Structure 1
Amino acid sequence: MAGCGSKIGEDDEVPGRVKETFCQPCLCKKKETVADKFCSICNEFQCNECSNIHNVFAILNNHKLVSVKEANSTNTLFEMKTLDLCDLHQIVFEFFCEDEKKLCCSTCAIINHRTCHSVVEIEKIAGKITSSVSGLGEKLKEAREDADGIARYICSSKDHLAQDIKEIQDEVRQMRDEVMRMFDDLEDFVVKRAETLQRETLENLSKKQALNEKHLVDVTSCLETIESIFRSGTQVQKYIAEHKMESKINALCRNIKEECQSLEKVNISFHFDEKLKLPPLPVTEYVPGQLLLRSYHQEDDNYVNMAMKLTPVSTIGLKKTRYDINEPLYSGVDFLPDGRLVAVDNKNKKCLVYNEKLEKVGSYQLYYHPLSVVVVSEEEVAITNGGGYNIEFLHVSKCNEITSRRTCKVKTKYDTICLKDDRQFVVGTYGEPKPVRIVSLTGEEHDLSFNFPNKTYPIGKSSSTYIKSSDKVVITDRDENTVYLFDFKTKRVVVTDDQIQDPCCAAVGPSDSILVCCFKTNTMVQMSQTGKILSSYKLDMTYPYRVCVSSDKKFIVVTNACPGNRKLQKFKIS
């Protein structure tokens, strides 16, 4: 290594002069440091500091370090360690091809380079490349210097990283202490507020308890009176008592039923805000969360137990008869209170009545294309008109005779219709900006205050129904594969699920769950009022179109819209 080797006195031959060996890496940095070690692999004298690089990198661990004295006393030849062997033939290199700039063994020279013009013996040209070897040494020294810098940088980075981690830990601990102080204040604040909500809730529960106790007293009193009269009273007394107490008992039963439907399970929870502000803000100025008093139906806890099972009872095919112009399409079905079924045939302008065995027992010719039908009372139904602005009321007698009672004029196009109470309908619109409206039995119309989607539905692209117990409206959107639930107290619930595909209609099922006919997948999906999918039933029909549920929630009827294979199918619910 010319220029960076050992350095001795001006005259080595002077007796008594001591020969000094300097660290070669230090000399390259223009620094004179006495060497302590010699590395036979690096072929360098090094001081202790420079030789420590061998302890940093694993690749240098196999290098052998000896003392300078030991190195100077040993005269060994450099071991080539297969550097002088041809990789292909494992023969010592003897030639150099100047044309291709490659080392050659005797075999390579004969086979691979016989057409080359200048293949010379290495021994004859070896002296001419000494300067090149020296240049390589300088490049390697420069590379090693860079590598030393990298090593120092890595060591320094490790030290800084450890310091950064320590500073973060200290900062987090300090923050934790501050947050804990804030949470101590928060605990006091929230607990006091929660206790206030508890007192208010208990007061409401006490009122309900008192009202229920009064109902129990009234029920017991009425029972005692009835039992006494029917045990020892005359026929006249019985007759008077029955008619005298009927309205009172009906009102009492209705009040108790309403109380049952309004029962709510109450829990108190605390939800943190999305962004938690930390001190120095005092907790009294900013509470990092919101204390909520939430009421929800028992369904939320036990919805799994609400899953229904359907058992087929009877099925009939809807075939074109000699009295029909087209293949029947039942666009609306509903149960009468006695178990009979009323249906409207959109294609043939008919209203029909079926008994419990799905045998046709009555028919009535309409002058318009009916869209939907709903049972209003024991012997009355209401039908929406697909060709005009009116709702027609029909009388269906116990003997299955159907007659027209009256026609109610309206200003909106209505499709689906269901009963809200004994005075009003919830009706689904088409071609209108409001998808659902309220219509009284006398034809008075008004909008609901729900946050409905801003969308106008074509006919057949949406349907609606109403859940009395929770005062909720359900809307299906076929194009969006979505079911919406709305009520007056909370925001809308949007239900999208892989099982809900092309939902064409909905009905209120057992335990006030929601039944959705999925036109595309031929399934009946049952969901809770919170949007949970409870069950899914594969129907034995193509394109299920309309569904209705009996008033006792024991049976459902489904009809479909598949051309050439239309059915009316009845199921038992378990």
Structure 2
Amino acid sequence: MADSGSKIGEDDEVPGRVKEYLCQPYLSKDKETVADKFCSTCNEFQCNDCSNVHNVLAILKSHKLVSVNEADVASISVKMKALDLCDQHQHSFEFFCEDEKKLCCSKCAIVNHRKCHSVVEIEKIAGKITSPSSILGEKLKEAKEAAESVARHIRSSKDQLAEDIKEIHVQVRRMRDEVMRMFDDIEDFVAKKAETLQRETLQNLTMKQTQNEKHLADVTSCLETIESIFKNGTPAQKYIAEQKMESNVNALCRISKEECQNVKVNISFQFDETFKLPPLPITEYVPGQFQFKSDLEEDVNSAKMAMKLTPVSSIDLKKTGDDIDEPFYTGIDFLPDGRLVAVDNKNMKCFVYNEKLEKVGSFQLSYNPVSVVVVSEEEVAITCGYGYKIEFLHVSKCNEITPQRTCKVNTKYFSICLKDDRQFVVGTIDEPIPVRIVSLTGEELDFSVNFPNKIYPIDTSDCTYIKSSDKVVITDRYEHTVCIYDIKTDTRVVVKDDKIQEPRGAAVGPSDTILLCCRKTNTIVQISQRGQVLSSYKIDMENPFKVCVSRDKSFLVVTNSYIGNRKMQKFKIST
């Protein structure tokens, strides 16, 4: 597209002076070269080097090239898409009424603005504008992001809708033994209602999706027009576009905000507290009700919690000294004072690192450690995988590590995190219940949650616990999903997203959001407790494995499992 603003000396025209034009292909590369030719087909000025391409490529040989002096400058213009035309008279805008803040063509200026005190030529004031594209462009980008967010939530809602309907069937069947014969009638009735609700809700979501796709297309088209004008247009054209499109941009932004309502769907079915056999046909009495609610508005607000990561330090984990194999840090956690504890599964060691990721303490273990959690200022607990035990170590302020005690357990555990001052939340290995509670004395308990009956082999799932909301987070590596279980309500949110691929380690991040190590994409992904993806950060390591966050949520450390190039990296967290 030709940029008539690329002229040299067009504002100080002197008789006899020859106007020069810059080569536009070079301008796109931030280089200034005087143009020699003008291609009316490409609608741009070119130097000899660029114009010679027309003689090389067959597809360009039909283009019409003329010298710069022969170019019809008047016909060279930015595609304004009629933004520079008066709606009433279809004449080009030439004036701006500063009294009424309106663009005017010559007829408007005479007919409608004769009594106005300040009607000025656009050409004279357009050059005074500084970065007119920034405000409109940012507004449109925000509107586009909002529209894309709605699109993602619609897709997620459709998946969640099916999951919720399946969960209703499971819940209904679970009550069968308690209500005996009548429960068969209830199941049939609820199933029909659920199918009707699913069909109606799906129709509404599809309609919403169609509306959103149209809006997204409008926003994208408007954004492309704005970017094109403010990239290639003259100051006057930029000024016109700003004045002409401001109301349209505001309208698009408003629509985007309105669209961010009532999109995400969660459906559940709860029985009445008092369940009695009624003297009515089951079709007239159902001991429960469907609930429809939208969580998108809360997710939009939680988007403000999206974090940013800044690299602080990085170390390579190389085989040294008495190491049997390349180090593999399967467990890491921050001590309250900012030091880091790490366990090496391959070489059966425990290490202490200072804030600069310098090794300041080590201890040889007699077992293969799997995961580690800091219990107090000077105590850590380590799971042993197939060892049927949890080991406790003392880590002094002087970085000395000594064995403290052993708790025997009856279950094989992989991941471990603190639930409170007296209990752990632990992820199981090869067990039908994926997560359990273990006290600091070794007593094993189950959550009052109906977890799906799925067995996770070692290194296929990780768990963490959110204390503030009493929620358990479980990753499923090969299903590419994350399940967030609400212990209080016995409900769950199943999170699937293109950014979540092979999730492994999980940790609680700033504002109690959830951080995931995604092996397949080499990223740290941040999601809200509602399941919205808030941020995704590409890290400089292959196959991230474990992640931990400091007590004050200001630092993050991640390790990986890539054979031959294992690392440990530290990041500063900001929001």
TM normalised by structure 1 equals: 0.49
TM normalised by structure 2 equals: 0.49
* Larger RCO of the pair (alpha carbons < 8 Å, separation 6+): 2
Query: Looking at CA atoms only, which structure, 1 or 2, has the larger radius of gyration?
Result: 1
